[in-house]
Amino acid sequence: MAIKRSTKALVIAGILALVGFVIYGSMARVERVCELCIEFNGRTECRRGAGATDEEAKDAAITAACGVMAFGMDEAIRCRNTRPKSASCTNR
């Protein structure tokens, strides 16, 4: 038995709507952008981060800055716990 053309169109439209919903739901909601500078082990790195909140954006920037300055887990933890020298956040 053949499926009607209108039924095929409805099934395809439903699948496309579901795929679109999944893609939209998985996208990060970037509302804030923060730039901060961290001094660690005699080096200073400034990086930007983005996120839905200031805290998420700062966390992303800290991760980026410490990623190039800290070597090993111990240093990475110490770097992430270091207070930034400067930080500024804006709307995206």
- DSSP secondary structure letters along 30-41: --EEEEEEEEET
Percent of the chain with pLDDT over 70: 98
Give the pLDDT score at 1: 59
Q: Is residue 40 part of a domain?
A: yes
Under the banding of pLDDT at 50, 70 and 90, the label for residue 3 is confident
Q: Is residue 23 part of a domain?
A: no
Q: Is residue 12 part of a domain?
A: no
Under the banding of pLDDT at 50, 70 and 90, the label for residue 57 is very high
**Pairing outcome for strands 86-91 and 32-40:** antiparallel
Q: Is residue 10 part of a domain?
A: no
Q: Is residue 49 part of a domain?
A: yes
Mean pLDDT of 63-81: 95
- Number of separate domains in the chain: 1
Q: Is residue 11 part of a domain?
A: no
| Cβ 38 vs Cβ 85: under 8 Å | yes
Q: Is residue 27 part of a domain?
A: no
The 10s digit of each residue's pLDDT in 15-46 is 999 999 888 877 767 889 999 999 999 999 99
Q: Is residue 19 part of a domain?
A: no
Residue 42: domain span? 32-91
pTM of the predicted structure, to 2 decimals: 0.70
Mean pLDDT of 63-92: 94
